[in-house]
Amino acid sequence: MNYAKALQAVEQLMMETVESEVEVLRDASRHILAAGGKRMRPRMTLLAYEAVGGTDMDAVLPVAAAVELVHTATLVHDDINDHGLMRRGRQTINAIWGRTFALLTGDFLFTKVYTLMAPYGDLNVIFAQMTSELVEGETLQAAAAKEGKLNREIYARIIAKKTASLFAGAAKLGAKLGNGTPQQVEALYQYGFHLGLAFQIVDDILDLIADSQRLGKTAGLDLAQGKGFAVAVAGNGHGTTVAVAEEPTEDAGAALKRKLLEGNYIQEGRQQARQLAALAKQQLESLPPSAARDELARLTEAAVEREY
Amino acid sequence: MNYAKALQAVEQLMMETVESEVEVLRDASRHILAAGGKRMRPRMTLLAYEAVGGTDMDAVLPVAAAVELVHTATLVHDDINDHGLMRRGRQTINAIWGRTFALLTGDFLFTKVYTLMAPYGDLNVIFAQMTSELVEGETLQAAAAKEGKLNREIYARIIAKKTASLFAGAAKLGAKLGNGTPQQVEALYQYGFHLGLAFQIVDDILDLIADSQRLGKTAGLDLAQGKGFAVAVAGNGHGTTVAVAEEPTEDAGAALKRKLLEGNYIQEGRQQARQLAALAKQQLESLPPSAARDELARLTEAAVEREY
């Protein structure tokens, strides 16, 4: 099975995994899964596996699917907390089915991750660690936003936990399963970690500058809620205090956005992201040449140069 | 280590497991854990382990802790969905820290369950299955309440999934880990399943007749929200239509409560619970005599005769 086929197989497996006699859980799960997404995390698991010489793609599919499902579970719960109405170009689960069912669908996806990971013994330790960090990162973000205390340092901790740990773990899991050497496993972990940081900074910038339609989700929410890169840099070291609205409103978002676009923040963010992506790419030098390694390199560029 | 010491060790392990540099996650987790509870599920895991001849209590502690943590995670999320203000005699996490942090604390507990279960290989399959059913049961309940379509049949499905599957799984996990014979494992599974059904029926009755202070949680919520045993039996086969309020109010609850107390429902429920508990107890006959078996028998009585 080649990489493209494997990516399709991951989609198929996720759809099968969320089968349930409870219709709303199945329908809501499939609703968000069918909306697609960049699938960065399962891509990394599959490619890391191949890059260290793994050949039995079937063996890695459940792990790749689990990584994407745990990410999806947190998106569903994020949309509840952020009152998000659009996600991946579709209405969010909370917008369609309401908060209660959105919360339960997220929980359901969490439980299905256990099902997929059950056969993988020790890999569960890595999986548990990264998932736990992810939730810690989300919580740090919510706490910083609530207290209006987001700054560069806290922002760095937040994105390391909420995004980079899952990217790093996704790559590490693939590398471990493919029987990579300890050096290769570490290199792919570092690759994922740096790429995750870069990816999140770009995500936050796009939240600021892209429009909702292109982005496929409600734009400007982070800003209005006191989250993200722009708030972090503008709220610290620049003498700018960013007031945070209790509930996101058009006005608060628009005013903050104007303020931030006037500064140099967007360019600074893109620049930081490029540096981090370059660090990610460097890690690949310790791997033998392969189509998978090339694709991992390509991902570092795609992640930072994207416009949505 | 004896049973009493093991129960204490489970408490200790849970407290350690929820350690986090993110204070709100640690504090909120410890807040609900420190409030105690009946610990029915970890009791069953520990006792099932001993009842089939398991002797290394240390080996079963993480599984018992995981079982209680997954239960606790769902309680935290339930309290969000039900707007519950009291739980185990304390304010709920959502009442103190707000909905966002309550949701994240529940997610955090879910991830910590992975951490505890990671070393247990195949047992994760059982664990994943029961956790998934638990969430399905919660969802069936929310759907039935929303549609006002709760009846005896749907109620039976709900409690089988949301409560009995976790009780059954908790006992089965202990029995498997203690190297019980297939017959013993099945007997303990059936024990837990029937006890779980009995326990939930009594819980629902207590929600109706006990006062909040004694119960340690807001009483009457199920009723006002169109859930639980009383609604199921009154809404079907008795010609009574139970109107369900969108949000729980004192008046709606009081009116429904009066209606239900006039019927024979409480007595009927207690009677059903006693029958189910007796079925649970019967399963224990296939086990060799032991202090653990006696304690399991005692639990069947305690579960149905309790007043809070």
Put simply, whether A110 touches B (Cβ < 8 Å) is yes
First-residue to last-residue Cα distance in chain B? 30
**Average confidence (pLDDT) over B200-221:** 83
The answer to whether B64 and B174 are in contact (CB under 8 A) is yes
Residue keyed to tokens 């079963």: B60
The helix or strand, by DSSP H or E, that contains position B90, with its residue range, turns out to be strand B90-91
Alpha carbon distance B199, B205 (integer Å): 10
Q: Residues near B19 by Cβ (< 8 Å), separated by ≥ 6? A: B26
Q: DSSP letter string over A58-126?
A: HHHHHHHHHHHHHHHHHHHHHHHHTT--EETTEE-HHHHH-HHHHHHHHHHHHHHHHHHHGGGTTHHHH
**Average confidence (pLDDT) over B209-238:** 73
List chain A residues with CB under 8 Å of B104: 77, 81, 135, 138-139, 142
The answer to whether B307 and B210 are in contact (CB under 8 A) is yes
Per residue, the 3-state secondary structure of A169-218, as one string, reads HHHHHHHHHCCCCHHHHHHHHHHHHHHHHHHHHHHHHHHHHCCHHHHCCC
Q: Please give the C-alpha separations between residue A67 and each of A46, A49, A74, in angstroms, as whole numbers.
A: 11, 14, 11
Report whether pLDDT(A241) > 60.
no
A86-87 and A90-91 strand pairing? antiparallel
Min Cα–Cα distance to chain A from B21, Å = 8
Alpha carbon distance B115, B29 (integer Å): 15
pLDDT at B250 (0 to 100): 53
Q: Which of A46-60, A107-121, A219-233, B145-159 bottoms out in mean pLDDT, i.e. has the lowest?
A: A219-233
pLDDT at A238 (0 to 100): 37
pLDDT at A230 (0 to 100): 75
**Residue scoring higher pLDDT (A11 or A266):** A11
Of B106, B112, B124, the CB nearest to A118: B124
pLDDT at B210 (0 to 100): 79
Q: Residues near A99 by Cβ (< 8 Å), separated by ≥ 6? A: A80, B81
Q: In 3-state terms, what secondary structure has residue A141?
A: helix
Report whether pLDDT(B252) > 70.
no
Closest CA in chain A for residue B20: A136
ipTM above 0.95, yes or no: no
The answer to whether B178 and B50 are in contact (CB under 8 A) is yes
**Confidence class for position B138, pLDDT limits 50, 70, 90:** very high
Q: Please give the C-alpha separations between residue A202 and each of A129, A216, A229, A230, A253, in angstroms, as whole numbers.
A: 25, 15, 9, 11, 19
Put simply, whether A173 touches B (Cβ < 8 Å) is no
The helix or strand, by DSSP H or E, that contains position B86, with its residue range, turns out to be strand B86-87
Alpha carbon distance B15, B19 (integer Å): 7
Beta carbons of B104 and A139 less than 8 Å apart: yes
For chain A, how many residues are written? 308
Closest CA relative to residue B295, chosen from B6, B36, B1, B44: B44
**Average confidence (pLDDT) over B106-124:** 95
Residue-number span of the structural domain to which B99 is assigned: 3-305
pTM: 0.92
Min Cα–Cα distance to chain A from B158, Å = 11
Q: For residues A230, A234, A237 and A238, what is the CA-based torsion angle, rounded to 10 degrees?
A: 140
pLDDT at A288 (0 to 100): 97
Tell me the sheet residues that pair with A86.
Answer: A91
Put simply, whether A181 touches B (Cβ < 8 Å) is no
Take residue A198 and report the two structure tokens written for it: 């870069």
Query: What pLDDT digit, counting tens, does each position of A27-77 carry?
Result: 999 999 999 999 999 999 999 999 999 999 999 999 999 999 999 999 999
Q: In 3-state terms, what secondary structure has residue B91?
A: strand
Q: What is the DSSP letter of B87?
A: E
pLDDT at A227 (0 to 100): 85
Min Cα–Cα distance to chain A from B131, Å = 6
**Average confidence (pLDDT) over B120-149:** 95
**Residue scoring higher pLDDT (A223 or B24):** B24
| A145 Cα distance to chain centroid | 19
What residue type is A21 in one-letter code?
Answer: E
* CATH code of the domain covering residue B244: 1.10.600.10
Angle at A131 between CA A128 and CA A135, to 5 degrees: 135
Q: Which of A212-216, B123-127, B128-132 bottoms out in mean pLDDT, i.e. has the lowest?
A: A212-216
Report whether pLDDT(B273) > 50.
yes
Tell me the sheet residues that pair with A90.
Answer: A87
The answer to whether B47 and B296 are in contact (CB under 8 A) is yes
pLDDT at B19 (0 to 100): 98
Beta carbons of A124 and B134 less than 8 Å apart: no
Alpha carbon distance B308, B291 (integer Å): 26
Query: What pLDDT digit, counting tens, does each position of B5-64 carry?
Result: 999 999 999 999 999 999 999 999 999 999 999 999 999 999 999 999 999 999 999 999
**Confidence class for position A138, pLDDT limits 50, 70, 90:** very high
pLDDT at A253 (0 to 100): 62
pLDDT at B238 (0 to 100): 37
**Confidence class for position A251, pLDDT limits 50, 70, 90:** low
Alpha carbon distance B102, A159 (integer Å): 21
> Looking at the 3D structure of chain B, how many domains does it have?
1
pLDDT above 70: percentage of residues in chain B: 93
List chain B residues with CB under 8 Å of A134: 111
Beta carbons of A142 and B81 less than 8 Å apart: no
**Confidence class for position A236, pLDDT limits 50, 70, 90:** very low
Report whether pLDDT(A219) > 90.
no
Q: Please give the C-alpha separations between residue B251 and each of A261, B220, B245, in angstroms, as whole numbers.
A: 53, 11, 10
Put simply, whether B243 touches A (Cβ < 8 Å) is no
pLDDT above 90: percentage of residues in chain B: 75
Of A73, A128, A142, the CB nearest to B101: A142
Beta carbons of A124 and B117 less than 8 Å apart: yes
**Average confidence (pLDDT) over B163-189:** 98
SS3 content of chain A, % helix, strand, coil (to 5): 75, 0, 20
